[in-house]
Homo-oligomer: A and B are copies of this chain.
Amino acid sequence: MKQLETLEFIEAIARAGSIRGAADSLSLTSTALNRRLLALEEELGAPVFERLPRGVRLSPAGELLIHHIRQQRADLDRVRSQIADLKGERRGHVKVACSQALLPYFMPHEINAYRAEHPKVTFEVNLRDRYRAEQALVTHAADIALVFEPVRLADVQVLATAPQPVHVVMVRDHPLAAKPVLRLSDLVGYPIGMPSEEFGVRYLLDLAMRRSAIRITPQIVSDSFEFLRSYPGPELMLTFQIPIGLPAQDSGPEAFVSRPVDTRDVPAGLLYLAQMRGRTLPVAAANFARQLARALDAASDGPVRPGP
């Protein structure tokens, strides 16, 4: 959009940290970019960047401006989306930031279902930990976020929640697989693989252990559930996951099974569907969010995973 071109350029400079760097990434000369910046600062009556010997950095005024720019662009996107919608074109682009647990089953399934009805809607799904998911909403890098145990929920609006008790994942013939529900004390003595600290599951486990005498020390810590899940085979290792990140219990010859941890030991966490507070979402994003909210409600109404 021609209107916001200069403002986009400003954001590019902020990202690059230098005018010349941004100019390269924009396929422009530094001259042109520099002059646009100077003209804008002239109009604003205040410098947008502090000039450093090695580049530029946003000034306080620039911080205000960059916020404004992001909002302007998001607003314009929304208007364009609404206009396209009233032309009957059910197209659009939805940006989702979500926790890891949503990636293997939930998000693919939901997006697939949505695209079956609206094939012209495109998606962008980004893995963001609980803190950065909220940041993504604020900077308009994401339209909606699905986060397990978010950090603070400031500036965001909750659209739906679903309780998610922590499950232990193990190989099918693990001794503990015999029990339908596990106590924390059951786990002592087995090798443990834990997600790293930025994850909600880890947060809940740390919280639980702080309140009890039981200490579970992980042999493996990783920020990749993929890795943790692939690892346990040889060692009978236990790892953790929430139901929405697990396959249906009876879905054929899975190598792994999961058992819930007793909620007296580790309380169930909450999965949040959220958008930025006060923002009107583009049509496609709003509709998709509505679908997700229904799916989460359905997941928490019935038994989360019907046991055997």
- Name A's B-contacting residues (CB within 8 A): 1-4, 6-7, 39, 43-46, 60-61, 64-65, 68, 71-72, 75-76, 79-80, 82-84, 86-87, 278
CB <8 Å contact, A83 and B71: no
6 extra A-B contacts, CB within 8 A, seeds A46-B87, A60-B86, A71-B75: A2-B43, A3-B6, A44-B83, A45-B87, A46-B84, A68-B76
Closest 8 CB pairs of A and B: A61-B83, A68-B79, A46-B83, A278-B278, A64-B82, A64-B79, A60-B86, A3-B3
CB <8 Å contact, A79 and B65: yes
Residue from A6, A44, A75 whose CB has the most chain B CB atoms within 10 Å: A44
Q: Which residues of B contact A87 (CB under 8 A)?
A: 45-46, 61
Nearest-neighbour CB distance to chain B for A155, whole angstroms, equals: 13
Q: Which residues of B contact A79 (CB under 8 A)?
A: 64-65, 68
Pairs A–B under 8 Å by Cβ, sample size 11:
A2-B39, A3-B3, A3-B6, A45-B84, A45-B87, A64-B79, A64-B82, A68-B76, A71-B75, A72-B72, A72-B75
Tell me how many chains of this kind the complex includes.
2
Residue from A43, A75, A80, A278 whose CB has the most chain B CB atoms within 10 Å: A80
CB <8 Å contact, B86 and A61: yes
CB <8 Å contact, A83 and B45: yes
- Tell me the complex Cα distance, A222–B80, Å: 46
Nearest-neighbour CB distance to chain B for A182, whole angstroms, equals: 47
Q: Which residues of B contact A6 (CB under 8 A)?
A: 2-3
- Tell me the complex Cα distance, A238–B172, Å: 92
- Tell me the complex Cα distance, A250–B76, Å: 56
Q: Which residues of B contact A82 (CB under 8 A)?
A: 64
Q: Which residue of B lies closest to A60 (CB)?
A: B86
Q: Which residues of B contact A64 (CB under 8 A)?
A: 79, 82-83, 86
CB <8 Å contact, A68 and B61: no
